[in-house]
Each structure stands twice: as C-alpha cells, then as structure tokens.
Amino acid sequence: MSSPTTAKRVSMLTLGCARNEVDSEELAGRLTAGGWRLVDDGEDADVIVVNTCGFVESAKKDSVDTLLAAADSGAKVVAVGCMAERYGTELAESLPEAQAVLGFDQYANLADRLDDVVAGRKVESHVPVDRRTLLPITPVQRQEKAQDVEVPGHGWGPRVLRTRLEDRPVAPLKIASGCDRRCAFCAIPSFRGAFVSRHPDEIVAEAEWLAAQGVREVFLVSENSTSYAKDLPAELGGLENLLERLAKVVDRVRVSYLQPAETKPSLVKAIATTPNVARYFDMSFQHSSEKVLRRMRRFGSTDSFLALVQQIRTLAPEAGIRSNVIVGFPGETEEDVAELERFLTGARLDAVGVFGYSDEDGTEAEGLDGKLDADTIAERVARISNLVEELIAQRAEDRVGDEVVVLVEHEEDDESDCVGRAAHQAPEVDGECVITNPEGLSVGDLVRCRVDAAEGVDLVVTALEVLPR
C-alpha cells in the first residue's frame, strides 16, 4: 500500500460496452486530477475501480466475478458503472468484498471517495432511483436542468476531462446519454436516465483532443444516436451537421446505435456520402416480425426494414450494415421466426448478433404472458445463428476483388501479418482484415487494400498504398 510520501495508485477495470469505456476514461481523468496515479496491474494498486455492466444476466455475473477477483488481489475494491447504479445498496449488501458501491452522482467526487476508502472511512452505498425522473419529460427543457444532474461524459465545457487508458488508434466518443424509448425488454433507461445530448462544440473539442493523441477513427456512441440534438436548439444542427464537423477533425468517423424507425433519409445520405464518415450503419432491428416488434414496444416490419436496407445500398453499395436480434421473445411463434429469417435472407447484413430472450428485472417483458421454455429459445438461437453465419460469410465473400481502406490496429505476434478494420467493420464486433504484406506499415496507418479472400466474416487483404495522414 502507498505511504504518505508515495502517489496513491489506482487501477481501472472496464466491463460492458463502449459507453462504459468512455466513462472509465472520464473517471481516469478525474482521478489523475485528484492526485491518483493510474497503474495497469491490480497487484500494484491501492484501489481497483471496477466499472461494471448491468445490462443482462451474463454481464452482471461477469461484473460480480471481476469484483471478487479484484478483491483477491489484496487491493481495496470500488464498484461503479451500470450495475452499481442499478442495484446500489443491494449489491453492496451481497458483496461485502467491495469497500464502496458508487453511483453516477459520485463520479465528480470519485478521487475524494477513494481517499475515504484508503483511509478506512465509511462510504455510503448508492441508493438507486429511476433516473428518468430526474429530468423534465419534455426534451427541450432538459439541457438547463441537466447541469444539476450528474450525467457521465457531459458538462465538461471546452476542456477535455479524459485520460486515455489505451493507445489504440480508435476511440469511442460519447454524443449523448440516456434513452427515451420504452422497449419492453430493456431496463437501461431506468438507470441511465432520460436522453440528453452533448453540445456539438464540446464533442468537436474532444474529437480534436483525441486526434492530437493519435486517434485516426472515432466512433460515436450513445444509447440512441438517432435522437441526437432533439433536446438542443435547432440552430445547432442535428447529427448530420455534427458528422460534417467531425469529418474535418479526424480521418474516420463511425456512427453506432441507430434506431431504424428514427433513421431519416437525410441521415442515411449523410452517412453514405460525407467524406471521412464510414459507410457503416449499426441498426438496432431486434426482430422483423411486426407482431413481435409491437410486443417489444418497437416499430417496423420486414418490408419496412428491407426498404431501409435498399435505401442505404442504393447510395452506398459497399456500406456495412450490422444489427442485433432477439429470438424467443414472449409470444414469438414459428411464423414470427420465419419472418425474421425472411428479413435476414433479404437484407444480407454484414454482421448480426443473435441473443436469446431472458427476463430483466423491472422490465415490462418480465410480466408478459407467452413465455417460451429454455429449450425452445436455445433451438431458435441456434437456428438463426446458423443462418446468420452462412449469410455474413457470403456477404464477406462478395467483397473479394474490391478495394477497402483499412485502419491498422495491431501486429500479429510473429509480425508476419498485421490486422486492422475496413470501413464496414466496427471495433471488436464485425470481423477484421488481415494484411498479408505488412512491411513498412505501422499501427495507426490507413491503408488502401485489395481484398483477396474471405475467411468467415474476416477478410484477407493486400496493402496497395498508405494514405496520408
């Protein structure tokens, strides 16, 4: 442990989505400003801060396992993040190994709370509330009130309160927090709160800072990017205007978390045609049966979704389109699964995550009738997964002979290849490109490549030209 003459040492562990990654880097910035020194190895830390995920049951289990493993290191352990915000005192009571369980309201004072933990002072555990109740129902009334509510990643002003925890050439950039949708299966709005956009000047300033750190690609994250700017003055412009500004700052801008029912033709055109914006559409379809979507409190149908896919591919045939789908939702029939298969076969998406339905605490779907047994859900997950695997492999095969621009992200251990991503591939979820002639290439290079082969969703490519920075 540290003595009064040595710096206090803290290690950050992050679970969950890219939004949590941004939050962890904000917390790292706050901690370094508060006199704490970041260390990579938990064995060398006085305190390990675990940024938990509370989205689904498997993520909660991973968070608890990580907290317990951190406690085994001998360091003091502090839980933050979505699971800590969602369960607070309940988590603290069931997990005495953690010295503190803190919600978002303590983020601004985290350095002080860690001082308390190290000094052995008692830190009160977070008491959960429905964060949707903290802001006005009407979006245009939220910005002023949001100054009084702790919303991670917001309200920094012109300064950037962030410390990078990795030196990758790609970084998430938060454009909004919270969600106003009421999807029957999702608990996120209750602990992330109502939707709040960040001011575009603040976002652009952070992108400039990231570019100065060597970042070549930023991917914009939120709970619902298509809602961006609905709570801002009209003169500030919407997501389309933000993309145009960011594209002048970094080499590649990627948008994530788009809602199909809210995706306007003007946004499709902006993503498909703006230079330096990746032709990439992360569409939250979730299903395509109109009946199932209505039970999910969502909108759309197979035909409307196929029309949206056609709209995208008319403007940008090479565009990448990915999505997630949930199978086994309460009331789903064989006809509904067949309708989902019709959509997936017609859409020929580049990447699809397939998830089996499970109850989530406090959601509407938890109380729905028509629940399917675990074996039926598992069978449907396997069925749709097999179809998806075949379809995305075909889509990748269709790219053989094309040219793609690859961002080099790392070298293989034997340095025989280097690995990166094309514009249609998002970090960690959509496959990668293996460059077979890596001589002279460096991490962070953008390289024009020829696609020589496909291996499942991954591409094997030959470097043709390094593009200027």
| DSSP single-letter state for residue 198 | P
Q: Which tokens go with 135? A: 């802001």
Written as one letter, the residue type at 82 is C
CA–CA separation, 320 and 425 (whole Å): 7
Q: Which tokens go with 361? A: 């605490």
Neighbours of 110 (CB within 10 A): 22
* Segments of 157-198 assigned E as strands: 170-174, 176-177, 196-197
Residues within the annotated binding site for [4Fe-4S] cluster? 17, 53, 82, 179, 183, 186
In the chain, DSSP finds a helix count (H) and a strand count (E) of 14, 18
Beta pairing partners, 323: 352
Distance of CA 100 to the CA centre of its chain: 26
Q: Which tokens go with 136? A: 């006005």
b/e code 356-390 from CB counts within 10 Å (16+ = b): bbeebeebbbeebeebbeeeebebbbeebbebbee
Beta pairing partners, 446: 407
Residues within the annotated binding site? 17, 53, 82, 179, 183, 186
